[in-house]
Each structure stands twice: as structure tokens, then as C-alpha cells.
Amino acid sequence: MSPLVSRILVTVVALPVVLYLVWLGGWWVTGLALIAALLALHELYVMGRSLRPLVLAGYAGAILTIVGAQAGGFPWMVGGAIATLPIAFVLYGIAETRQSATVAIGTTVLGVVWIALGLGHLVLLRDLPDHGRLAVFTVLLAVFADSTFAYFVGRLIGRHRLAPTISPGKSVEGFVAGTIAAVAVAFFALYEERDSFLSIWQAVVFGIVVAAAEPLGDLFESAIKRDLQVKDSGRLLAGHGGMLDRVDSLLFAGPAALYAILAFGYG
């Protein structure tokens, strides 16, 4: 089976499930985010196994972070992420590892702050009163449109490299096309709610914020994978790579979207 065919099959099967759970909201979204976080963390820790991360501390921190986001909002989410540090320190004290504390604990905490906090912000975004469902759907569609247009335009006419030392395949032309697509999605998705949610100019700015964060999330994971000398985070999703490869953009776009909405005075 070709990578393209496997990507299409995974999308056809997984996308309706994800969208349905997002539509339901509440603990359904929390469960979805938790599964994604644990799988992505596992992939990160496998890629960085030579750094000897404290895996159990990372899993515990991820659970506390995402469950905390749903149960107690922002303070509990941040508290769960911070709890990873002392848990990792305790486990380091009783673990038999020759890795330095800075590297082992730092790798552990990085995974929780990057992955669990990123997905936790999406849980908070979905829980926004009145417009949480619309906000999350807009982010998901904008990120999908951004990455799709950036990929195909980059393949067709991309000549100028966006970040050649990190991800040589990304182009400035693709970035511009992706930004236009993300802004267009945000504009049309939020247009009907312009009088009760984001105004037209706020929707445009919202799209720009998501469009700026999306490639940063992708490039951040590319930098980590390049540093750890791996191509894909895993094979869980066949042609899509691993779970981390699928959610990397959302880990930056989700928080950016939430803070943009809060900055506009909603939530």
C-alpha cells in the first residue's frame, strides 16, 4: 500500500471519530486529548530513549495536566504540568540511570510542557462558553487547510526555503499559501457569528495567529527529530507517521488560538 493511500484511509477512518468527539465536548474531548497525549509522549520518549527520560513521571504529569484542564480549568492544568518536576525528581532519585539529572528530568518535563499542555489548551478552548465548539472546529479546519495548501503549493512552486536547516521541504511560497488558506477558513467559519463572537477583523487576526503558530509547531517537532536523528515519530498512523507527527502543529496553534480569543475579551 502506497503512503498516499494509507494516509487517505487513516483520514477517512479517524477524522469522523475525532470530529464527533469534539462535537460532544466535555470529558469526551478530554479522553481524546489524553489518549493523543500519552501516545505522543510515548513516541517522544522512545525517540529520546538515550536521554533516559523518566517515563512514568511524564505519563503522570500528562494525566494530571489534561484531566486538570477539564476538572479545574487553567490553574489545575498548569498545576498538573508543574507537578511533573517533583515527580520526575523523586523517580530519578530511586531510578538506576547513569544519565545526568538535567538531561533526564529536562527531557521528561519537556514532553509534558510541550505535548500535554498544548493539548490541554485545546480542552480549555472547547470548554469556552457558547462558542467553544465553533472555536475548536475552526482551529482544526484552519490547521488542516494551512498544512494542506502549504504542502501542495510548496511542491508545485516552492523555491525559497523557509527553514532550510530544520526542515528543507518547507518553502516560503507554501507558507504564504497556507496562511491565506487559514485566514480564509477562519473568516468563513466565524462569519455567521460576527455579531456575537469574533468580529470580521478579529476573525482575520485569529486566522493569522493560527497560521503563524501552525508551522512553528511543525518546525519545533522537526528540530527535535533532527536532533534525535529520526525521520518520523512512529508508525502508528501508517503513512501519517506517528501521533506526534499528526498533532505537532496543534500543540502550538491550540494555545495561540485560546490566548487570541481571550485577548479579544471572550471566555
Q: pLDDT tens digits, residue range 67-76?
A: 999 999 999 9
Point out which residues pair with 161 in neighbouring strands.
171
Structurally, the chain folds into a number of domains equal to 2
* Mean pLDDT along residues 174-186: 95
Range of lowest pLDDT (14-23, 195-204, 226-235)? 226-235
Cα separations in angstroms, 181 against 57, 141, 176, 214:
39, 10, 9, 12
The better pLDDT of the pair 222, 234 is held by 222
Last residue of a domain, one of 76, 103, 126: 126
Q: What is the mean pLDDT of the chain?
A: 90
In 58-199, which ranges are E strands?
161-163, 167-171
- In whole angstroms, give the CA distance from residue 193 to residue 147: 25
| Lookup: cell for 69 | 484542564
Model pTM score: 0.92
Residue 188 lies in a domain: yes
Q: Identify the residue whose cell numbers are 526555503.
A: 161
Q: Identify the residue whose cell numbers are 460576527.
A: 194
Q: Identify the residue whose cell numbers are 525517540.
A: 47
* Mean pLDDT along residues 11-35: 89
Nearest 10 degrees: Cα torsion 104, 106, 112, 114: -130
Residue 4 clears pLDDT 60, i.e. is over it:
no
Do residue 142 and residue 105 come from a single domain? Answer: no
Beta-carbon contacts of 83 under 8 Å, excluding residues fewer than 6 positions away, are 60, 61, 64
Categorize the per-residue pLDDT at 255 as very low, low, confident or very high, splitting at 50, 70 and 90: very high
- In whole angstroms, give the CA distance from residue 234 to residue 231: 9
- In whole angstroms, give the CA distance from residue 27 to residue 14: 19
Residue 6 lies in a domain: no
Do residue 114 and residue 70 come from a single domain? Answer: yes
pLDDT at 256: 97
Do residue 114 and residue 146 come from a single domain? Answer: no
Residue 108 clears pLDDT 90, i.e. is over it:
yes
Which domain, by its residues, includes 140? 129-267
Residue 84 lies in a domain: yes
Residue 112 clears pLDDT 90, i.e. is over it:
yes
